[in-house]
Amino acid sequence: MLLFPGLKPVLNASTVIVNPVRAVFPGLVLSTKRSFYSINRLNAENKINDIANTSKEASSSVQMFKPPEFSQFKDSYQKDYERIAKYTLIPLTMVPFYASFTGGVINPLLDASLSSIFLIYLQYGFTSCIIDYIPKEKYPRWHKLALYCLYGGSMLSLYGIYELETKNNGFVDLVKKLWNENDDHLYIFGRN
C-alpha cells in the first residue's frame, strides 16, 4: 500500500508505475492536444474574411493528426519465431558448457544447430531493428537496401558456419581455442 502525503492511499502500485500523474491527481484530466491558441489567434486576425471557408476545412489539430501506420513487426509471426529461437538457445548454450567442464566432445550436429540458431536469432533481431529505425513508409529504398544487406550477410555467415563445421571442429571448439593462452594451434579458415 503506497501513501502519498495529503492524499488517499493507493492500493495498487501498477497505477503509479503506468501513469504516475493520474495516480497522484486522480480527478485531473490532461489533454494531449497541442495548444495553438496564440498562433490561431494571429491567423484569425489576419484572415477575418475567410471565416466561411475555414468551417468547411478541417481544423489544424485534425489536419496535423496522422494515425499510426501498420508496422510489419507488430502482429506478425516474426516475433513468435524470434521468441522460439531465443528460448531454443538456452539449452543449446548449456550443453557446450557442460561438455567443456567435463572434458567431453560436443556432437557436430549440436554444434551446427547452436551456431545456425544463433545466426537466425541475430537475423530476426536485426530485422526488427531495421523495421523500427528505417521504416518502409519513410525510407523505402534504404529499408530495402538494409534488408538486402542483412540477408546477404546472413547467407555469408551461413556459408562461414558451413566452412567452420566441415573444415574445422566447429564453433564451440573455435571458442575453446580462442580462450586458450597458447594460440599456436589455432587454425581459422586456412590461417596458421
Task: Dump pLDDT digits (tens) for 14-33.
Answer: 555 555 555 555 655 555 55
Instruction: Return the DSSP state at 50.
Output: G
The domains of the chain, with CATH numbers, are 1-30 (no CATH), 37-66 (no CATH), 77-178 (1.20.1300.10)
Whether the model clears a pTM of 0.85, i.e. scores above it, the answer is no
Q: Is the pLDDT of residue 117 over 90?
A: yes
Using a pLDDT cut of 90, give the percent of the chain over it.
31
- What is the rounded distance in angstroms from the CA atom of residue 70 to the CA atom of residue 82? 20
- What is the rounded distance in angstroms from the CA atom of residue 139 to the CA atom of residue 64? 21
CA angle 14, 16, 20 (to 5 degrees): 145
pLDDT in tens, 124-181: 999 989 988 998 889 999 999 999 999 999 999 999 999 999 988 888 888 877 777 6
DSSP result, 79-126: HHHHHHHHHHHHHHHHHHHHHHHHT----HHHHHHHHHHHHHHHHHHH
Q: Which residue has the higher pLDDT, 157 or 108?
A: 157
Instruction: Tell me the three state secondary structure of residue 23.
Output: helix
- What is the rounded distance in angstroms from the CA atom of residue 151 to the CA atom of residue 129? 14
- What is the rounded distance in angstroms from the CA atom of residue 44 to the CA atom of residue 153? 57
